[in-house]
């Protein structure tokens, strides 16, 4: 069950934030989400997030791109309108393969890159016209925000967070 009350701890330095995350994790409190203006190196490991599976997706998308390139070039250059490539009229895909390698490479990269970006956006629940979930616009500038759910431990969390160097601690009721 998602807690309706959350606590927002705001930091103004990524090193302070990293240490805070380690302390909060050590005290066995759950971290709901962290909003940062830029990617913080090692934050995912400190938060204990599962490793990304995006790389596996990228590999599979690359395989799709390679297949599309092979089928496409085979249809265009060999079957539909056979071409005499480099003065060697063999009309075989395999024998003309060197000429197709740049296309095979480009489409592999094209598919892997574009589909990986789209996957990343969807997985992060971002799509066009989506309303921003960002709780505080300062996290797009120079502040870092850690969001923790409250389970009847508001005072304990507040004292812990103020020890970690948070510049601002707010209790927010998400139900409203």
Partner 1 sequence: MYTLSNRLKLVSLILIIVGAGLWGTGYYSSHHVTLDNVKTMLAEEASHGGHGDSHATVTEDTHASKDSHSDNASHADADAHHGDEHAEHVMHQIHNRPYSALYIAAFFFMMIALGALAFYAIQFAAQAGWSPLLFRVMEGITYYVLPGALIVLAIAVWAGDHIFVWMNPDMVNPESDKFDKLVAGKSAWLNTTGFVIRALIFIGGWSLYRYFARKFSLAQDQAPEGDRSNFKKSFRIAAAFLVFFIYTESMMSWDWIMSVDPHWFSTLFGWYVFAGMMVCAVTVMAMITIYLKSKGLLQQVNDSHIHDLAKFMFGFSIFWTYLWFSQFMLIWYSNIPEEVTYFVTRIEDYNLPFFGMIAMNFLFPLLLLMNSDYKRIPWFVVMAGVVILAGHYIDIFNMIMPATVGDRWFIGMPEIGAILLFAGLFMFIVFYAISKQPLIAKGNPFIKESEHFHY
Q: How many residues does the chain have?
A: 176
Tokens of residue 143, six digits: 């502040």
- Least distance from partner 1 to the Cβ atom of residue 47, Å: 16
Q: How far apart are CA 15 and CA 17, in angstroms?
A: 5
Contact status, residue 15 vs residue 21, Cβ threshold 8 Å = no
- Least distance from partner 1 to the Cβ atom of residue 101, Å: 6
Pick the stretch among 20-28, 79-87, 150-158, 162-170 that binds partner 1 (CB under 8 A).
79-87
- Least distance from partner 1 to the Cβ atom of residue 33, Å: 24
Which residue in the set 87, 124, 133, 176 belongs to the binding site for partner 1 (CB under 8 A)?
87
**Does residue number 42 form part of the binding site for partner 1 (CB under 8 A)?**
yes
Count of chain residues binding partner 1 (CB under 8 A): 10
First to last CA, the chain: 17
**Does residue number 89 form part of the binding site for partner 1 (CB under 8 A)?**
no
CA angle in degrees (0–180, nearest 5) for 77-80-84 = 40
Which residue in the set 27, 49, 54, 55 belongs to the binding site for partner 1 (CB under 8 A)?
55
**Does residue number 48 form part of the binding site for partner 1 (CB under 8 A)?**
no
Tell how many helices (H) and how many strands (E) occur in the chain: 5, 4
Residue entry with tokens 């599979």: 60
Residue entry with tokens 């020890």: 163
In terms of CB distance, is 99 or 115 closer to partner 1?
99
Other CB atoms within 10 A of residue 144 CB:
27
Give the contact letters, 94-133, x = binds to partner 1 (CB under 8 A), - = no.
Answer: ----xx-x--------------------------------
Task: List contacts with partner 1 (CB under 8 A).
Answer: 42, 55, 59, 85-88, 98-99, 101
């Amino acid at each position: 069950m998602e807690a309706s009350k959350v606590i927002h701890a705001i930091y103004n330095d990524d090193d302070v934030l990293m240490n805070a995350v380690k302390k909060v994790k050590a005290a066995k409190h759950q971290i709901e989400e962290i909003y940062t203006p830029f990617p913080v190196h090692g934050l995912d490991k400190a938060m204990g997030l599962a490793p990304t599976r995006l790389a596996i997706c990228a590999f599979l998308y690359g395989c799709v791109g390679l297949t599309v390139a092979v089928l496409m070039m085979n249809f265009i250059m060999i079957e539909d309108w056979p071409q005499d490539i480099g003065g060697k009229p063999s009309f075989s895909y395999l024998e003309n393969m060197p000429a197709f390698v740049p296309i095979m490479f480009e489409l592999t990269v094209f598919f892997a890159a574009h589909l990986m970006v789209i996957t990343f956006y969807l997985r992060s629940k971002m799509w066009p016209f989506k309303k921003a979930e960002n709780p505080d616009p300062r996290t797009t500038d120079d502040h870092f925000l850690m969001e923790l759910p409250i389970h009847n431990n508001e005072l304990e969390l507040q004292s812990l967070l103020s020890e970690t160097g948070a510049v601002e601690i707010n209790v927010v009721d998400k139900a409203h």
